[in-house]
Amino acid sequence: GAVVSQHPSWVICKSGTSVKIECRSLDFQATTMFWYRQFPKQSLMLMATSNEGSKATYEQGVEKDKFLINHASLTLSTLTVTSAHPEDSSFYICSARAEEWGTEAFFGQGTRLTVV
Amino acid sequence: DAKTTQPPSMDCAEGRAANLPCNHSTISGNEYVYWYRQIHSQGPQYIIHGLKNNETNEMASLIITEDRKSSTLILPHATLRDTAVYYCIVRVNFGNEKLTFGTGTRLTIIP
């Protein structure tokens, strides 16, 4: 299957700072990428969908000015958590889909964000 | 997307077949059944999907009832590494259709 890589795997940051998480499709071109958030013992919650070269579509209740998503190329999408607060501490996961691989979505390994 | 219902947890002995059920009684004709699993602190992993015929791959088998209102994921010879949360998702199979995760089944393989 296709490989999706996230960086970093974990990050600790101070409250009020911004953190950028990268999601790369290593062996395919991802026309669509999805960003999820997962709190402990809960399921994945979709935050936004991004298509290369266009603005992301955010799910209801997700602040687009706080969670900035950039999908500048077919192999890279970034999620920036701006002015992070302890309640933003979570497991952030991206997934990517490419037409050549059908419609299955492939997931990155996730990024554990801890805001102190 | 149709809603799915899965048992919250299951145990299975190592080496035995693990059968994970999923109810999707409101599934519509163009919706597929997808299965993913998530091992602790990792991203979800695609397992298998199907429309109405039974499917098999190197990881698992998917049995879909004739009325398509339920399905079963079968791991034929469970190992300790199969311990994970298994998600059953139904969705249409085109375009940028998003995956909506429910609560899944926490499968524990017992030595």
Q: What is the pLDDT of residues B79-97, one digit of tens each?
A: 999 999 999 999 887 666 7
Query: How far is residue B78's CA from residue B54's CA, in Å, rounded to a whole number?
Result: 20
Q: Give the pLDDT confidence score for residue A30 in this predicted structure.
A: 87
10 Å CB burial of residue A11 (0-12, 13-18, 19+) is: middle
Q: Are B89 and B100 in contact (CB under 8 A)?
A: yes
| B44 interaction partners in chain A (CB closer than 8 Å) | 44, 93, 95, 107
Alpha carbons B68 and B77: distance in angstroms, whole number? 25
Find the CB nearest B41 among A32, A44, A110: A110
Cross-chain residue pair B43–A108, CB shorter than 8 Å: yes
Mutation target vs B (from A25, A43, A77, A101; most B CBs, 10 A cutoff): A43
pLDDT at A67: 97
The DSSP H or E segment spanning A64 is none
The tens digit of pLDDT for each residue in A61-116 reads 999 999 999 988 889 999 999 999 999 999 999 999 876 666 678 899 999 999 99
pLDDT number for residue A52: 82
